[in-house]
Structure 1
């Protein structure tokens, strides 16, 4: 039985294996980036502009943001398990629609529907917070996201090879099969972890003001939003930078594209090992400093006339490293502000993060059009990362003011 008596497992006597949580969260990461190396190929297939196909990133993130506002409160009310299973069913149907879509517009409609898989990311974090408190949750989230980071690290490589060999549709066949496997794993292993709720969903949503009026929540939310914003800008602009500025093939773009995921993996390992010892705030501070400093490298190299794929993608690895340290701790911080609203906090925080990410991804795609260098993308990423550093410094100062430290 669980060592946490306040948690009641309704479907199973034991909590889910960590591999199940990794799979549930990794599916969303795979859906976000596995096909990106083939975006130019998809634009040619649908006879559409690259900017239109790039909307498959922006619109996906926007719908993710909207869905997260409801997923959290619904899961707090009816449980994590049914919401997760329902989302995976809808995801597989939407993926099939992407494969069969005859036009770019219909593809984008099904692509937006795929965003329902975000439940895996939202509730994967909430399940962890259901089981363990505070810094321990940050450590466990670090292990979960460390495993999840393998997918965006190898996903674009696989996607580029599949696209060159079988066509862009092969990436969505991979997503379809993966969705079915994760759904089966969730069904058999993930029991209910949320405490039983007797309140109405309307009452659950009404508790959002508790989060909206918490400065600590917004501090952690700002740190995670701007830290991840650098990565989302990268998602929106890196395919163009790789194919149009550095003239890489889809498989080469896929290889380089995974650079930040390698750093993210290492950052998650650091977070998992050190979060309990150093604390949430210090880990976020160190992570944001590393990410911001890492972006000075491509900024200086481009200004110095040294603009290469190796320098750009290599330096972005440091952004991944910093984000790997920041995100688990920032998410744990948000969820710890009001523990009884863990699902709602995860959903609201994720919605803000992805809404900002969608805007930055779209901005990157638009500003890069016609550019001869990666400078527009680097500037957007640097500005977002710098704001994440400002946000955690504000949070630390606020906590010291409240506690009188």
Structure 2
């Protein structure tokens, strides 16, 4: 079961934005990214709480009439049209789209032509920047050489495969369906198509030994990819895995075990030429970093299209920002847009102090660190103690930046709490 949406104010039926969202006079252009949520999967993994639906679930709800896959690109196009109107009305029309990220769900359960059509709609509405980054997530068993070639020909530049592990019993615990041997094959196909490749990993799965984790890391290194994301498993309420843990069928993830695995990942990936640039992400070179995600961490503007997707527009004239989120179910999403209504379920205004707080929380995650000028007096007073505890780099602090050490990356929540008072 996917998580409940946040609580927020109901938006106007047509999605109109408040007038204070107009940019400040003389403000420079802000980066603009687009997230396209594809809420479909062939199966639901036991640990996943994302807003996803299998065809069987949607068919059962609709009495066998339609799962909603076949017209999804057309439905998203309606939200793109709505976005263009509402952004124009407050002077926030993007100069161009810098990054596009298709996530889910498994976007590649849709035909490649549908994914290309959604990107083409963005291109026709706002244009894509020269060298725009266009990424899709994919499962290794949801692509073919032909589908990847079609994506590349349609303007995609990057694919992120959900590898999670190279060890069969770990994949079984996660309820992943792909064969580990499929990963290097899929990577090779993507390379042949001219796409940059990222692999996503999960560490700390119940039953995963340190040797298992090392095997997965070695398999990643052998693929010679451009980018790696590695996330500690979190058992989310409402998932099948949470039920298994509660019933004692599998143990809960161990935090010390996960810390040891993070350090091993940093060692192995670093030795292979992949440097961390964000707490959970490593890239072979700066240009291989996921620019779309960096836009989130830097507080750029983005519009999230699709059921349950979240969006953000940064500081308006008085320093406030706006965040909103769509209804979760694909049918409710399509019905609202079909009726000419916004699919947004709620939104919240961020006061200037909340905007500054988020800038600290997200900016400190990056390798480049956070300017201490962005931190309040209480946070600056805490810097010396964080340096003494080995959580912030002493040299960077002396130069006016808060940069996490590796120990600081493991205790990033503590650093953020101290820097924000």
TM-score by length of 2: 0.25
Q: Which has the higher helix share?
A: 1
Q: Which has the higher strand share?
A: 2
Larger radius of gyration: 2
